[in-house]
Every structure is written in structure tokens, then in C-alpha cells.
Structure 1
Amino acid sequence: MSTDRRGRGRGGSRYDSQPRSVLVSKALSRLLRHAAEQERIPIDNHGYVRVDHLLAWQRLRSMKPPVTFEEVVESVEDNEKKRFALKYVSKDPDTTEVTPENSTALEPSQEPTTEAEVDTETQKAISMFQSTMGDTDSKRFFIRATQGHSMRAVEAENLLKPISLDDPDSIPTTVVHGTFYGAWNPILQTGGLKSMTRNHVHFATGPPLGDVLPAPSLDTTTTTTAQRQKGNLGHLMGENKVISGMRTDAQILVYIDIRKALQEEPEIKWWRSENGVILTEGIATDSQPEGGVKLVPKKYWLAAVEIKQGLGLLWKQGEGDNGVVQELPEALRNRAVPRGKGGGHRGGRGGRSKGRG
């Protein structure tokens, strides 16, 4: 059902130059992750929005031509990172109105809890849409973002699977956060990774640390430049060009000792999203008192590795000056964070950002 139409966003040439499918996907992400409440689009505490309400949103209606249900389904189908989930309900839509105060659209017993179940529900909904093309009741379809929310009305336990020592199979082998040169020093100064405007800090489950700095040693003096340059994400991902939870242009990878965090800080809640992203709010620290911004403190880091320029290990637990193995060169340190990631770094200072730092 894909289309190569180009659409108009909010009027600027930057939007006009992007494929319409990208504009639609970005608009869906913004509404479902961040803006439903302020746009007065009803959203339940599972993060679901009714599709007819979605299509009535001014931003989608103002695109020329207005965004269709078919394009919404294409965005769900074509998104490699599985950022969206779709669900069809058989109940009378007039009795299943979704509001922030009354989340009755989905029966709790039907709520998908695993990535496989979410995929199945989404495929069922897509099949239902395809079988009723031309006579589709959009009121019976619901869409949500699988992770990345900044709205407090969306409750983590309703759409995320907890990671716990009580369930060893839930604990990922690798937990890694991708960030950028301009954010690195502020992260170190603040003492950890912050969620900033989102509800959670985001992590991927790969690539493994051993692939970035090959075994048996993390010592950059025994690792050749060629080996270090293998840490480039493009090389590491190979045929799989998508790592959910991390941008492909990430420049520094921060690895987390999640088992240590689970053992020492039960207050830090860890979750796995429907599309495999690892999430946590972090915890308040002495530098970030209760009620302030939480973070994932450095004491639960394993290592941090620069992967684009072949610098290798920047930080390692228990080494150097407070873990610092080497400083970023000034030319890299002063580089701007990519668009949408600036100002409010994950461990940075102030500013506003809806990115993943």
C-alpha cells in the first residue's frame, strides 16, 4: 500500500522536501508520544488514540490532501523500528469512547503484553482494515506509539514489560544508550543519563560491547585502529539496518550494568517496550534531589565508547579520573548535537529537546 506522494507539512520548504510518508510518520510520533493532551485528542492510559480522532487532528487534516486511514496503516506497516501498534476492537465504538479519565476501549484481558502479541494484534488490525477497504469504520481502530512518551497520562506498566531479577529471562544481555559528541561532557558533569522531556531514558539491546571493543581487552593500547573503527554502527548492524532504541547516527555508546542496577537499586524500574527498547526513569540522586530530574548514574555504567572516529574507549568503570579514560578532542566536543537533539542533552544542561540525546 506504499505511496511516494510528497506532502506539505506546516508550510516550510524543509517539510515540503520530505516524502509525504515521512511527514505522516513524524506527525503520528509527535501526537502519540508528546502532544495528544495539549491538542485535546483523547488518549487512554495505555497510550491508545482512536483512529477517527487521530484523522480529525488539524495537522493531518491540513496536509494536502488530508491524511487518510490508509496512510496511517502504511506508517504502522512500514516503520522498521515498529514505533506504532494498531488494534481493532469489536465493541460498539459509541460505548468504548477513549478518554484520559475513562480507559474502557480495550478489555484488560485482551491487552497484548509481549512484542509477539503486539505484532499479532497489529497484523490482525491491518488484516481487518484490508478486508474492509472502502467500508472501514475507523472508530473501531486504535493506534499508539510503542515507546517514547512524554505524557504522564500514559502509564508505563500499561504498555511496557517489567525487567526484574525475579524473571531472569527478562534481563537483556546488553543495555546501551547512544548519544552525541556535544552531549558527552554535559552528561559527565551531571553524573548520568537523563530522560529530559520524555518519561524514560531509552536504551538498545545491541551492539554488544565486545563487538565495539573486541575481546579480550578493553584497553585501547592493545586495540588497533582498524578494530576500533569496526565500532561504526553501519558495520556492526550489517544487513540489519535498524536498532530499536538508538539512532543510527549515534557517535558515543554508553553501556549499562543493568544487573548491578537491579541488585543495588530496586527503586530504579526497568522496562522493555513492545518494540524491544529498554527504558527506565532512573533515580533521584544527591545532585538531583527527590522531585527533581531522575537519572541513570555513572556508578551503573560499564563503559562508554566513541565509534565514529576510531577513538575507542572514553570511559570505563573504575579507571582513570572518575572513570574517564580519554577526553574527546575539542573539535568533537564542540560539535553541535544533531537537529532535534540539542540543548536538552540526556545528561546535559537545560534547554528543550524531544530527542533521545
Structure 2
Amino acid sequence: MTWVLRHGAVELNLPISSDGYIPLTSMLGLRQLHGATLLDIQRVVRNCKKQRFALDTSDPDSSKWRIRANQGHTIKAVQDTDLLVPVTLEEALDGLICIHGTYLRHWESIALNGLCRMARNHIHFAAGEYSTDVISGMRTSAQLKIYVNVAAAIADGIPFYRSDNNVLLCAGIGDKGILPPSYFIKVLRTQDGAQIYPN
């Protein structure tokens, strides 16, 4: 279900709106979900600890309900302005914590080139340290935490957004979607909290 909503809708010829919604009837019609029911989908959405999905049940007719992934798309038809909420400079200046989790094996490249969105539409960040309030945006297995100065990036014209499940997102700049290391505040090892940047 995650793959379909984030990456595969176009390939599977499913209608997808600019805010990422797909008709639930279209999802249930996929052979990959053969046998799944409306109740199954509702259970998956409700029980997802990272709150990856949103179910639009605003229409009283359940045949018109829609489902989407809250973030993580590679589908270009999904538009930031329709899916996400912009982070304001005021919000960023008011103590917003923004952390990207990564692995030691990537640090040399990141330190030199910055963060890259890769095939996704955005670079993903946690909106604070991992806790009961911060449930998504960074893998718990991350070995490094890169703290980002969102206010400086926004002031320089690099927009940040917040998803419905509180993940911070940035498309980066240029064709490759890079967030340069000049926006890094510090980098800490998760294992022992040691600061490796700046050193």
C-alpha cells in the first residue's frame, strides 16, 4: 500500500490528485490488494505508528472516500502546496528543531555536497528529538543526527514544509534537490552524542 501511494500510482494508472489522494475504490480494485476490505484499510491507517496515511472520509458515501500517503512521494503530480503546510520564518525562529537522520557511511559525501532528496520529492527531517511526539521523519537506526538551521534556509528562499504526520520536508535547491552543508548547525553521533561537526 505504501509503494502504491508514494510511488506506484502513475505506473498502475490510478487517478491521483495534486494533494496525493487516490480513490479508495481504485486502491481496493488492485490485484495486489485482492481480498482487502474497507475495514482492512481503515485498520492499517489507524494502526500505523508513523501515521503514514490519511483517509478522507468527508463524503457520507464511502464509495467516494480517498486515501493518501502523508509524505514520501516520488510522484511529481503531487504538489507541495496542495499536500503540505509551509513552515514560516516565524515558526522556524521560534525554536523549531529539525533533524535529518543518516548513517556514518554517508557522512563524507554529505559533509562535502550536502543533503540530497535522491529519487523522492523531498529530504525528510524529524521535527525534534525522537519521542512520543516525534513519531516520523527519521529512522531509529540512524547513526548520525544532522541539525538544520531552517530559519536561515527559509530566509535564503529555500522552503520547508510540514506533513500531516509532522515530518519536516525540503525539496532542496537545483535539479538534484540539495540542501548545502552551510545550513547544518551541528552533527551528533546517536550512539554517544559526540559532536562530529563542526569539529
**Do these two structures clear the TM 0.5 threshold for a shared fold by scoring above it?**
yes
Aligned partners of 2:149 and 2:91: how far apart in 1? 16
Shift of 1:43: 0.9
Tell me what 1:296 maps to.
Answer: 179
Tell me what 1:181 maps to.
Answer: 104
Aligned partners of 1:197 and 1:79: how far apart in 2? 24
Query: SS at the partner of 2:146?
Result: strand
* 1:116-170, Cα deviation, whole Å (9 max, x unpaired): xxxxxxxxxxxx7xxxxxxxx64221111111111000001001111122xx246
Task: Say whether 1:271 aligns with 2:154.
Answer: no
Aligned partners of 2:128 and 2:162: how far apart in 1? 14
> What amino acid is aligned across from residue 72 of structure 2 in structure 1?
G
Query: SS at the partner of 1:148?
Result: coil
Tell me what 1:315 maps to.
Answer: 197
Tell me what 2:5 maps to.
Answer: 32
Task: Say whether 1:70 aligns with 2:39.
Answer: yes
> What amino acid is aligned across from residue 201 of structure 1 in structure 2?
I
Aligned partners of 2:5 and 2:165: how far apart in 1? 15
> What amino acid is aligned across from residue 195 of structure 2 in structure 1?
L
Aligned partners of 1:175 and 1:242: how far apart in 2? 11
Identity, in percent, stands at 34
Tell me what 1:220 maps to.
Answer: none
- Higher Rg: 1
Q: Where does structure 2 lack aligned partners over 5 or more consecutive residues?
A: none
Aligned partners of 1:241 and 1:163: how far apart in 2? 18
RMSD value, Cα = 1.8
* 1:41-93, Cα deviation, whole Å (9 max, x unpaired): 111111001111001112112xxxx2222111011101122111111243xxx
Q: 1:205 to 1:140 in 2, by over 3 A?
A: same
- What TM-score do the two structures reach when normalised by structure 1? 0.53
> What amino acid is aligned across from residue 297 of structure 1 in structure 2?
P
Q: Relative contact order: is structure 1 or structure 2 higher (C-alpha 8 Å, sep ≥ 6)?
A: 2
- What TM-score do the two structures reach when normalised by structure 2? 0.92
Aligned partners of 2:51 and 2:162: how far apart in 1? 13
Shift of 1:262: 1.7
Query: SS at the partner of 1:253?
Result: strand
Shift of 1:241: 8.5
**5 Å matches for 1:190-209?**
191-207=113-129
Aligned partners of 1:241 and 1:44: how far apart in 2? 29
| Aligned partners of 2:127 and 2:134 also within 8 Å | no
Aligned partners of 1:241 and 1:251: how far apart in 2? 21
Tell me what 1:141 maps to.
Answer: 65
Tell me what 2:48 maps to.
Answer: 79
Tell me what 1:52 maps to.
Answer: 25
| Aligned partners of 2:188 and 2:197 also within 8 Å | yes
Aligned partners of 2:43 and 2:7: how far apart in 1? 21
> What amino acid is aligned across from residue 105 of structure 2 in structure 1?
G
Aligned partners of 1:148 and 1:82: how far apart in 2? 12
| Aligned partners of 1:80 and 1:242 also within 8 Å | no
* 1:257-287, Cα deviation, whole Å (9 max, x unpaired): 1111122x11x11111111111111112xxx
Tell me what 1:262 maps to.
Answer: 154
Shift of 1:314: 1.0
| Aligned partners of 2:122 and 2:177 also within 8 Å | no
Aligned partners of 2:6 and 2:85: how far apart in 1? 18
Q: 1:241 to 1:45 in 2, by over 3 A?
A: closer
Aligned partners of 1:57 and 1:184: how far apart in 2? 40
> What amino acid is aligned across from residue 149 of structure 1 in structure 2?
H
> What amino acid is aligned across from residue 155 of structure 1 in structure 2?
Q
- Runs of 4+ more than 3 Å apart: 169-172
Shift of 1:188: 2.2
Aligned partners of 2:73 and 2:107: how far apart in 1? 23
| Aligned partners of 1:50 and 1:138 also within 8 Å | no
Aligned partners of 1:170 and 1:300: how far apart in 2? 13
Q: 1:256 to 1:47 in 2, by over 3 A?
A: same
